[in-house]
């Protein structure tokens, strides 16, 4: 989907559009449109991008690496702590964001309290990021100071079709804004699996992961963008993906039916390491 799953807090009637985070009609990115900072991107879409994991459950364990990216205290995208000072997320989440206006809450299952709240000093989007066609939907966010939470390790590889994974997020829990006027404050989790590349459209198998839940009515949605897809490794959870967009938006714009696309974080290992070392 050229529509990202980024979330827009409803009580702020701000219209930060998908063109700022990924244009409607280009790719359905799963970000929530946050209240627009002064440097917000252009208004080139007509619909708010708001959602959370559909069919998930309240988090069953602590995820110290989980990050909520926020503007004015409102969650708009997820991310993953990969270093004591760095979070990885989707590029469409932070496109044209002013770092001084973004904060992160790290290591809490409630995006309104707990964990560590910290400012952002720098945002680096991948130089090859594009909206249409969607490509290289990845960014790293430098925190204003180190945090004490344990970062998540990057997996060596994402895995092939059939690999069990889990997705995390605070996005919408159903397809309709009318049926779900509020998004959860408690982190949601959903067990999923990687499916074959041909299940997703507008997809690059070299740098992206096509993922689906075995049952219908269960998937990432608006507000989940940037959040982690994880898999079990020998020493615990490992990071493989960042939530990007719907996998069949052209034929079915509903989040709950069909696959979704994650940026394959493991494919960007060298770029991530060189960027945070610079």
- The position carrying tokens 């219209």 is 15
Does residue 75 carry a catalytic annotation?
Answer: no
CA-CA-CA-CA torsion for 203, 89, 264, 132, nearest 10 degrees?
20
Distance in angstroms (rounded) separating the CA atoms of residues 174 and 154: 30
Q: Find the angle CA(275)-CA(277)-CA(278) to the nearest 5 degrees.
A: 70
Does residue 72 carry a catalytic annotation?
Answer: no
Alpha helices (H) along the chain: 18-21, 91-94, 269-277
Distance in angstroms (rounded) separating the CA atoms of residues 246 and 27: 8
Distance in angstroms (rounded) separating the CA atoms of residues 261 and 209: 6
Rounded to 5 degrees, what are φ and ψ at 3? -95, 115
Considering the candidates 80, 108, 225, 256, report the single residue annotated as catalytic.
225
Does residue 137 carry a catalytic annotation?
Answer: yes
Considering the candidates 83, 97, 137, 224, report the single residue annotated as catalytic.
137
Considering the candidates 92, 111, 126, 213, report the single residue annotated as catalytic.
92
CA 76 from centre of chain = 9
Active-site amino acid positions: 92, 137, 225
């Amino acid at each position: 989907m050229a529509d990202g799953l980024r979330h827009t807090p409803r009580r702020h009637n701000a219209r930060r559009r998908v063109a700022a985070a990924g244009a409607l009609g280009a790719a359905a990115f799963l970000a929530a449109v946050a209240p627009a900072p002064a440097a917000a991107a252009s208004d080139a879409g007509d619909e708010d991008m708001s959602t959370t994991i559909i069919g998930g459950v309240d988090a069953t364990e602590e995820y110290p690496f989980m990050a909520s990216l926020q503007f004015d205290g409102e969650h708009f995208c997820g991310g993953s702590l990969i270093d004591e000072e760095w979070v990885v997320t989707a590029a469409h989440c932070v496109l044209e964001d002013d770092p001084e206006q973004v904060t992160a809450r790290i290591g809490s299952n409630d995006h309104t309290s707990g964990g560590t709240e910290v400012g952002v000093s720098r945002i680096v989007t991948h130089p090859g990021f594009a909206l249409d066609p969607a490509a290289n939907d990845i960014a790293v966010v430098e925190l204003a100071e180190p945090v004490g939470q344990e970062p998540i390790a990057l997996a060596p590889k994402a895995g092939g079709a059939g690999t069990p994974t889990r997705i995390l997020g605070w996005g919408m829990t159903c397809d309709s804004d009318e049926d779900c006027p509020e998004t959860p404050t408690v982190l949601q989790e959903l067990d999923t699996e990687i499916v074959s590349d041909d299940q997703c459209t507008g997809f690059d198998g070299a740098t992206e992961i096509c993922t689906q839940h075995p049952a219908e009515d269960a998937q990432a949605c608006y507000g989940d963008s940037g959040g982690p897809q994880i898999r079990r490794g020998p020493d615990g959870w490992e990071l493989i993906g960042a939530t990007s967009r719907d996998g069949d938006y052209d034929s079915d714009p509903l989040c709950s039916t069909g696959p979704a696309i994650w940026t394959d974080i493991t494919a960007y290992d060298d770029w991530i390491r060189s960027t945070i070392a610079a």
